[in-house]
Amino acid sequence: MNAEPLILDGNKVAAEIKVRLASRVEELAVKGVVPCLATVLVGEDPSSATYVRMKVNACNRLGIRSVRIDLPKETTTEQLIEVIQQLNKDPEVHGILLQHPVPHHIDERAAFDAISIDKDVDGVTTEGFAQNAFGFAMFPSCTPAAIMAIMDYYKLQVSGKHAVVVGRSPILGKPVSAMLLNNDATVTTCHSKTTGLEHFVRSADIVVAAVGKPEFVRGDWIKPGAVILDAGYNPGNIGDVDFNACLQHASAITPVPAGVGPVTIAMLLKHTVDAATKRSAN
């Protein structure tokens, strides 16, 4: 039906963001400021370790300093918060990333909320969520921000469109719903208790898959011409969308990998540079 759907190339979007960041990092260097991201990883989950390594490498390539803190899986909530509070106080650290998920015995919400709002470059705090929902966040949650950046880069219309978000997590489904709403989409948020999920997805002009289940969104759920953003990243480099099947119906779609993922990292870098810029101006 759509002979040539547009493949939304996250590497291209990320590259453009990084070019602009590189010159900003140089300007900061002239002032003697080196943006610095602290990453905190708790436990030994191999995927989480990979994500952290990817983020650290991306920092390095751009001249952003990184401080990597790896904590044992037995770390308590109190110990983790103590580490975060030290990073809050450290004037050399501009941004703090606590890699999600943390081990189950840790109160992740309390740990996220220990991050100072000025350093919450991953957009995970309760306060940051609300600022984002009200449209004035300094650092919106990175994956939702990446999704918006991709649509912006490819000039895909959001205003007046019906966006269906599949998933309602605090760091993905909820904030991306809020950002789409603030950009004048009519937004439906679906989840595991939704009755007739296919029906909702079929009515969508924009589909955001943020459910964490491999190839969950099927080709025959897609309205012809819909735009599909796949925020999933499951083992084996598989998204939440059945890419090949959905490609038959969509007008535009992000692949996995090389879709939302690289832009998410670019947003993290951008927020870190923003934080350093803001601090250097104070």
Binding site for a second copy (CB under 8 A): 109, 126-127, 129-131, 133-134, 136, 159-162, 168, 170, 174, 177-178, 181, 184, 186-191, 193-195, 200
Instruction: Determine which one of 9, 18, 99, 174 is catalytic.
Output: 99
205 is catalytic: no
Q: Is 173 annotated as a binding residue?
A: no
Q: Write down the residue that tokens 């819909």 correspond to.
A: 226
To a second copy, the closest distance from the beta carbon of 137 in angstroms equals 10
Strand-pair partners of 37: 66, 95
* Shortest reach from residue 123's CB to a second copy, in Å: 12
Contacts of 261 by beta carbon, 8 Å cutoff, 6+ apart:
10, 233
Residue 99 known to be catalytic? yes
Alpha helices in the chain (DSSP H): 10-30, 46-62, 77-89, 108-114, 126-133, 142-153, 173-182, 197-202, 243-247, 260-281
119/168 with CB nearer a second copy = 168
Residue of 18, 55, 119, 174 marked active site: 55
Locate 281 and state its tokens. Answer: 């101006």
Q: How distant is the alpha carbon of residue 146 from its chain centre?
A: 6
Task: Write down the catalytic residue from 122, 230, 240, 242.
Answer: 122
Q: Which residue in this structure is represented by tokens 């952290």?
A: 52
Let me know if 90 is a catalytic residue. no
For residue 170, say if its preceding peptide bond is cis, omega within 30 degrees of 0.
no
Considering the complex, state which of residue 28 and residue 197 has its C-beta at the smaller distance from a second copy.
197
- For strands 65-71 and 36-42, give the pairing: parallel
Residue 35 or 128: which CB sits closer to a second copy? 128
Residue 169 labeled ligand binder: yes
Please state the closest distance from residue 27 (CB atom) to a second copy, in A. Answer: 31
Nearest residue (CB) to a second copy, 16 versus 113: 113
- Which residues fall within 8 angstroms of residue 188, CB to CB, at 6 or more apart? 162, 163, 164, 165, 200, 203, 204
Per the annotation, does 168 bind a ligand? yes
Known binding site for NADP(+): residues? Answer: 167-169
Catalytic residues: 55, 99, 122
Known binding site: residues? Answer: 167-169
